[in-house]
Amino acid sequence: MAQLLEDKVALVTGAGRGIGREHALLLAEHGAKVVVNDLGGDEFGSGADLTPAAEVVETITSAGGEAVVNGGSVANLDDAAAMVQQAIDTFGDIHIVINNAGILRDRMMFSMSEDDWDTVLAVHLKGTFGPSHHAATYWRNKAKAGEETYGRIINTSSPSGIYGNVGQTNYGAAKAGIAAFTVIAAQELVRYGVTVNCLAPSAWSRLTAPLMGGDEASEEFKESISPRWIAVAAAWLASPEAANVTGRIFDIRGEQLGIAEGWHLGPVEVQPDNPAELGPVMAKLMASARLNADMSGRDREGPGFPSQSI
């Protein structure tokens, strides 16, 4: 099998289980040396256990690959710097950052605590910024010194972030922020030879299992949305073949690979300066505009939706 990532060095966050684990294993299978980061907390962000990350490293090294454990918190900027530096110190460089670490604290907005909000945004959104910031600084410094750079940042959004899902204002806001972060970071880093892309995956994991049928889900269904499908796109985006792909959000559901096209300006009207006269103008806009997508990424259908703005 041709190896897409020979001699490349990757940092994968949240790589002890689920999608992150599959990222680390497939990158290593394609020749990358991997820093396997995982704090080892539970799905709510509590606790710490290096065992899952160590098991991933053991799997990689037993197969002849190279990998090391990192147990830092992506929500801590100093820990994020240490992850990047560990890759450089251990393997001599860093080429790929996959920001995958995540937790869930699902609540309806009126039941959500400040800690539910702050912790989820810290892990997801700040946890994407930290490793990306330190890697981007390293690549920019190399470029300014006249050295050749190779940089790939691959972030993790969610259908909940780009389409919306009830009970996930904290998670969805963080994931929407990651999508926007991706688009802007891609614009900022293109001059340094760095690409920035984002995955919006639907896959079976300990985080999503309760939302996808839990113990009632069939093995056939679980396999159809295996996390390995997400890693396939990530490995390709990390490779030299993806040099001209940047600023994109990829919606991945098993074998289905698509691009989420993002916000575009829809119908436009001239508004009056008196809000009392705005009703008919707004009605015309609403009648012409597409409805927001549902969680499948497609147009909503069903009674009531044409008159609503959700």
- Residue 85, domain CATH: 3.40.50.720
What per-residue confidence (pLDDT) applies to 241?
98
Given phi > 0 = left and psi -120 to 50 = alpha, else beta, which region is 304?
left
Is 266 within a domain?
no
Assess whether pLDDT exceeds 60 at residue 29: yes
Instruction: Provide the residue type at 269 as one letter.
Output: E
Active site residues: 158, 171, 175
Q: Average pLDDT of 120-145?
A: 98
Non-local CB neighbours of 251 within 8 Å, separated by 6+ positions: 159, 162, 200, 202, 257, 258, 259, 260, 297
Is 76 within a domain?
yes
225-252 pLDDT tens trace: 789 999 999 999 999 999 999 999 999 9
- Give yes or no: residues 157 and 110 share one domain: yes
Is 2 within a domain?
no
- Give yes or no: residues 158 and 197 share one domain: yes
What per-residue confidence (pLDDT) applies to 212?
55
- Give yes or no: residues 252 and 290 share one domain: no
This prediction's pTM: 0.90
Q: State what percent of residues in the chain have pLDDT above 70.
A: 87
100-125 pLDDT tens trace: 999 999 999 999 999 999 999 999 99
Is 288 within a domain?
yes
Number of domains in the chain: 2
Assess whether pLDDT exceeds 50 at residue 308: no
- Give yes or no: residues 285 and 196 share one domain: no
Non-local CB neighbours of 218 within 8 Å, separated by 6+ positions: none
Retrieve residue 160's tokens: 């909940």
Range of the domain at 110: 9-260
- Give yes or no: residues 151 and 299 share one domain: no
Is 159 within a domain?
yes
Is 1 within a domain?
no
Q: Of 138 and 2, which is predicted with more confidence?
A: 138
Which residue's entry shows tokens 């990158």?
27
- Give yes or no: residues 129 and 196 share one domain: yes
